[in-house]
Amino acid sequence: MVFKELDELQELIKKSDIKAVEKLCKGEQPVRFQPTFIRTALMLSAHKLKHLNKLDELEADVVILNLEDGVAPAQKPMALRLAALFLSHLKRINSLTVVRINSLDEGGDREIDFLNQFRPDAIRVPKIRSKKDVEKALTLIDPKIKVHLSIETKEAWQNLSSLRVESRVEAYYLGILDLLADMGLPHRIIERSNPTIDYILAHFLTNSLASNVLPVSFVFQDHNDNDSFKEWCRYEKSMGFHAKGCISPTQVNIANSIFQPEVEEIERAREIVKLFEAKPDNSSIVSDIYGFVDEPIYKGAKRLLESID
């Protein structure tokens, strides 16, 4: 737990004493473990104290403190201070910390200005539509903070390959419900093997990877249906995804297990790299175990090892 007791803080929230909560924010940095292989991104509402207080106990590779959807407008100012408060009081955390702000033209610019001093690992910007939106966000966000983007408008979808205007842009999140609604498509088509959904997932995956950006697949909303969630994770893994949005610790545990590279896959990659790099001219080789190994196969194996180191 971040705080042993929450009674005093709960009283301040009850009184809507935003200034008192803000004074408790220290602006210090915790000791952070930086996972390089991202499997899970857990969404937490930034106005829920009990959830925030477990930040240092979570198993998610990424924890997203949400200020946008699910937080009522009247609660957003307090939620912003609470996000900063818990970020600044963390002593240690094993997850990347991301704050999902509101859209830039709906208070997100002011939220960025406040959050810069507390230095989350990244700020996630919603409702992106164009390269100009990303450039604006980059000018507002501290250069030491990474930038994540929600892909949830039809304009962002059309401009997907051009949104990574700087190396700080390192992750895209597929907001499939908003995206379908913006395109005029019904949510009922979200089914495995639906051709439209398959196209959306494949397009999002390949365009993100071609831009050197981590693609995080959509959040499965029914947190009680773990069987369906497992099937979606397995299906997306078969497509090439290795990161999934989550809304509960149970979903995190499931996705962590499914998207974790298998031992055999890692050992195969290590042997391929070892065999290929042992050749004086790094030429293609034929292995009795792994068959024909050329430079593209070697590079794929090396990328896998680099991602989990």
91 C-beta neighbours (distance < 10 Å), count:
9
pLDDT tens for each residue of 130-145: 999 999 999 999 999 9
Q: What amino acid is encoded at 5 in this protein?
A: E
109 is in an annotated binding site: no
pLDDT confidence band for 282 (50 / 70 / 90): low
Whether the pLDDT of residue 94 is over 90: the answer is: no
Write down the mean pLDDT value for the chain: 89
Whether the pLDDT of residue 261 is over 80: the answer is: no
pLDDT tens for each residue of 202-248: 999 999 999 999 999 999 999 999 999 999 999 999 999 999 999 99
155 is in an annotated binding site: no
> Which residues make beta-bridge pairs with 216?
173
Numbers of helices and strands, H then E, in the chain = 13, 12
Give the integer Cα–Cα distance in Å for 272 and 289: 10
How large is the average pLDDT for residues 1-11? 88
> What is the pTM (predicted TM-score) of this model?
0.86
Q: How far is CA 22 from the centre of its chain?
A: 26
pLDDT tens for each residue of 48-87: 999 999 998 999 999 999 999 889 999 999 999 999 999 9
Cβ distance 86 to 2 under 8 Å? yes
Structural domains of the chain ordered from first start = 7-261 (3.20.20.60), 265-308 (no CATH)
Whether the pLDDT of residue 21 is over 80: the answer is: yes
pLDDT at 34: 67
225 is in an annotated binding site: no
Give the integer Cα–Cα distance in Å for 186 and 167: 35
Q: What are phi and psi of 284, to 5 degrees?
A: -65, 155
- What percentage of the chain carries pLDDT values higher than 90? 71
